[in-house]
Amino acid sequence: MSRRKFLKGSAGAAGVAAVAGTGVITGAPAIAQGREKLVLVTSWGRGLAGVHDAAQRFADSVNAMSDGTLEIDLKANGELVSGFGQFDAVTSGQADMYHAADYYYVGQHPGFAFFTAVPFGMTAPELHNWYYHMGGHDLHREIGEEFGLVSFLAGNTGAQAGGWFREEIKSADDFKGLKFRMPGLGGKALGKLGASVQALPGSEVYQALASGALDGTEWIGPWADEKAGFQEITKKFYTSGFHEPGAGLSVAVNADRFAGLKPAHQKMIEIAAAESNQYTLHQFLANNSQALDRLTAGGVETLQFPDDVWDAFGAASNEVLEENMDDELFAKIHDSVMSSMKLSSRWTGLSDSAYTAQRDRVRG
């Protein structure tokens, strides 16, 4: 039996159902008379800088383009589905679509990680090259078909920071026993170094760090992290991380629901997702440097991991990727990503990187 048939068969017919271990669905999607209505559930709490903005922008764009014929009803994390229950809600048909980071769902299939980020993976431009021009979107559709989803990139955070720590990291041994928040395959790599890794929704991270339930956390970068308030708890901030060099966010629509939409409405979803993808990336980039200035003025210490820690990150990351290569679809996506990344970086290394190094040297 395919994953999709199993999921459809296990979905309750009632409009109220529990998503085991992830949250509670409190109502079914509705269709208002004379128009289509799609319920969008998200992994983001309201007010989470950038990521909730991406979901809201997507919804607002569809609503504006459709002139009232298609309504996206956005439900933030906790309003209809809590925790990481969005995937199950949409695949079971109890919500119509989700906006989230697909690496939250590596438990359903590890290949979903590639559509957010994998350790030592693609920067945002490299991800977009692959996704729009080198087969990435087709593979997103292929993995989605196994679960009854039609997926689109719909946001990007750019390169994410290494995170906030109570104590300085001087060697890879400092991760042993460290209680740290990091989802996806990056979190699994940290686990290889002995960290006690947790994958908490963003809205729960501040309290966990403040209470001591976490010794450290990554979230996104200066702007979003400042908004979250982590600088109130610790002043040690590692500005470069190995885990998410260009993290994509996704919209995924229940495939049966998507197939039932008019072609014009399907195209609106595609266009709104792509526009949100572009807009959100530059929203983060435009805000990060100014936020970093405020953080450092407030006493935050910016740090970098030593080279031997980076080496340990690399070895652990390769081990995690290798452990999943027996899965045919994971291997197919992995090989496509690595081929595309090599091609992209070959040119940018000779052009963008060389130019910016000379520009910064000349301008001083």
Q: 250: closest CA among 97, 66, 125, 134?
A: 97
Is 90 exceeded by the pLDDT of residue 29?
Answer: no
The 3-state DSSP composition of the chain as helix, strand, coil percent (nearest 5) reads 50, 15, 35
Are residues 318 and 339 part of one domain? yes
Question: Is residue 9 one of the residues assigned to a domain?
Answer: no
Residue 353 tokens, joined:
């990187």
pLDDT at site 335 = 98
Q: Of 193, 209, 174, 143, give the one whose Cα is nearest residue 3.
A: 143
Residue 141: give its domain's CATH number. Answer: 3.40.190.170
Dump pLDDT digits (tens) for 136-148.
999 999 999 999 9
Q: What is the mean pLDDT of residues 19-41?
A: 59
The two tokens of residue 90 are: 């949409």
- Work out the average pLDDT over 67-95: 97
**Residue 124 sits in which domain range?**
29-154+247-282
The pLDDT, as a whole number, for residue 35 is: 87
What mean pLDDT, rounded, does the chain reach?
A: 92
% of the chain with per-residue pLDDT over 70 = 91
- Average the pLDDT over 161-176 and give the result: 98
Say whether both 240 and 198 belong to one domain: yes
Helix pair 124-133, 136-145: axis angle to 10 deg: 70
Q: What is the pLDDT of residue 234?
A: 98
Confidence of residue 33 (pLDDT cuts 50, 70, 90): low
8 lies in a domain? no
Q: In what order do the strands lie in the sheet with 301-303?
A: 196-198, 179-181, 216-217, 163-165, 236-238, 301-303
Amino acid at 49: A
Q: How far, in Å, CA of 212 to CA of 344, rounded?
A: 42
pLDDT of 155 reads 98
Residue 30, pLDDT score? 44
Rounded Cα–Cα distance for residues 123 and 259 (Å): 32
Same domain, 55 and 188: no
Mean pLDDT in residue range 119-137: 98
Distance in angstroms (rounded) separating the CA atoms of residues 117 and 243: 7
Domain match, 70 and 34 both = yes
Q: How far apart are CA 310 and CA 306, in angstroms?
A: 7
User: Residue 98 forms beta bridges with which residues?
Assistant: 41, 252
Q: Where are the beta strands (DSSP E) in 60-174?
A: 70-75, 97-100, 149-156, 163-165
Per-residue pLDDT tens digits for 288-334: 999 999 999 999 999 999 999 999 999 999 999 999 999 999 999 99
Statement to judge: residues 251 and 272 lie in one domain = yes
pLDDT of residue 7: 45
Quick one: pLDDT at residue 117? 98
Do residues 177 and 122 both lie within one domain? no
Angle (CA) 174-219-86 rounded to 5° is 120
Question: DSSP string spanning 311-342?
Answer: HHHHHHHHHHHHHTTTSHHHHHHHHHHHHHHH
User: What is the mean pLDDT of the segment spanning 115-120?
Assistant: 98
β-sheet bridge partners, residue 97: 40, 253
pLDDT-derived band at 364, boundaries 50, 70, 90: confident
Burial of 216-253, coded b for 16+ CB within 10 Å and e otherwise, reads bbbbbbbbbbbbbebbebbbbbbbebbbbbbbbbbbbb
Determine, yes or no, domain membership for 310.
Answer: yes
Lowest mean pLDDT among 8-12, 86-90, 174-178, 190-194: 8-12
Please name the residues in contact with 41: beta carbons below 8 A apart, sequence gap of 6 or more. Answer: 75, 77, 80, 81, 85, 86, 89, 90, 95, 97, 98, 99
Q: How sure is the predictor about 20, in pLDDT bands with cuts at 50, 70 and 90? A: very low
Q: Looking at the chain, which runs of residues are DSSP E strands? A: 17-19, 23-25, 36-42, 70-75, 97-100, 149-156, 163-165, 179-181, 196-198, 216-217, 236-238, 248-254, 301-303
Residues 92 and 209 in one domain: no
**232 and 94 assigned to the same domain:** no
Whether 2 shows a pLDDT value over 80: the answer reads: no
What average pLDDT score do residues 254-262 get? 98
Instruction: Report pLDDT digits (tens) over 199-237.
Output: 999 999 999 999 999 999 999 999 999 999 999 999 999
Clarify whether residues 105 and 146 are in a common domain: yes
